[in-house]
Amino acid sequence: MLIRNLPSWVLRESAATDEQVYLNRRNFMRGSSLLIGGAALTLSGQGADAGAAFASDISQSVGTSDFKDLTLDLYPAKRNEAYTIKRPITKEEISSTYNNFYEFGSHKRIAKAAQRMETRPWTITIDGMVEEEMELDIDELIRSMALEERLYRHRCVEAWSMTIPWTGFAFADLVKKAKPLSGAKYIQMETFHKSMWASGQRQTWYPWPYLEGVSMEEATNDLAFLVTGAYGKPAAKQFGAPLRLALPWKYGFKSIKSIVRFTFTDKRPVSFWEQLAPKEYGFWANVNPEVRHPRWSQATERVLGTDETIPTQFYNGYGEQVAHLYKELGKTEILFR
């Protein structure tokens, strides 16, 4: 059991989890509005151990597809060695059974529920400040891009981390395709909104659909990656199929899943979590071990699939590639502003 070795902040979070469960139940009954930063509250304190038992019963549903994937022949894509990492890859049984995807529940065991999502046909809309608005079929989009594999670290604001072999293409290539107008400063992204698939979206106190935003400079940074696959095959639904973002220098909530729309705009988007709890989830959300989340420290992180707790790195270890984007901002501002 992990419990004995848990650092005190995890124990604090476990206590918070009970509060979350309690509040959720109460809210469910009353239908009133829940204004707490849910993402942060649900770390259940069950570590990888609990995941292993769960993994065996989910493995049947993961990967059984309800459609013919027209991109299968593109996998596995060639690994881009510029994005390897010294940490071991997190086992797929662990990373695919411990997911944040609030559309399917405010806990980590959503993998089975996520199989209800129909990821084909799937249309990506590109609109706002672009030369011409577009609707792209996901398979055509994927086929038009150069797929590659990258090993990325992933650091959740809840202070756990993993290392994933993502497959996808550079966000910069999508921006190029979109032909943004010169006044566009940000890109706002949205997840699907369909409570027929996602029971979480019947919880009306959340500001659905899930929404995130990045600056144009961030989107066109080499590290910004649009993910179509993981572990050498098309991404399992719980990872955010058929298209999700990976911004490894930011807290995980920025990496929006199952995207249906990219809107180019001159106004800074207000994300799903920022709408819920602006004091806890800022726009920039860059990983910063020196600035606490209002309710816990970010100095260390629990490595999923191990019993290790390691120091968190500034920009999650990606400072060399991205620190220049934030040189105007102070230490706290790289998280909030």
Which residue in 165, 200, 213, 252 binds Mo ion (CB under 5 A)? 252
Write the single-letter amino acid at 283.
F
Three-class secondary structure of residue 155 per DSSP: strand
Give, as ranges, the residues between 153 and 172 that touch ligand MTE (CB under 6 A): 154, 156
Give, as ranges, the residues between 246 and 265 that touch ligand MTE (CB under 6 A): 252-253, 255-258
The answer to whether residue 281 forms part of the interface with ligand MTE (CB under 6 A) is: no
For residue 110 the two structure tokens come to 């959503």
Distances (CA, A) of 335 to 51, 232, 317: 30, 33, 15
| Contact partner, 99, from Mo ion, ligand MTE, none, Cβ < 5-8 Å per class | ligand MTE
Give, as ranges, the residues between 74 and 133 that touch Mo ion (CB under 5 A): 100
| ω into 248 cis (within 30 of 0) | no
Which residue in 44, 100, 115, 312 binds ligand MTE (CB under 6 A)? 100
Q: Which residues of 7-18 are buried (b: 16+ CB within 10 A; e: fewer)?
A: eebbeebeebbe
The answer to whether residue 149 forms part of the interface with ligand MTE (CB under 6 A) is: no
In angstroms, the CA 97 to CA 171 distance is 26
Which residue intervals of 103-211 are DSSP H helices? 111-114, 138-144, 171-178
**CB 273 to ligand MTE: min, Å:** 8
The answer to whether residue 326 forms part of the interface with ligand MTE (CB under 6 A) is: no
In angstroms, the CA 287 to CA 284 distance is 9
**CB 152 to ligand MTE: min, Å:** 11
Which residue in 169, 210, 283, 296 binds ligand MTE (CB under 6 A)? 210
Binding site for ligand MTE (CB under 6 A): 39, 99-103, 154, 156, 191, 210, 239-240, 252-253, 255-258
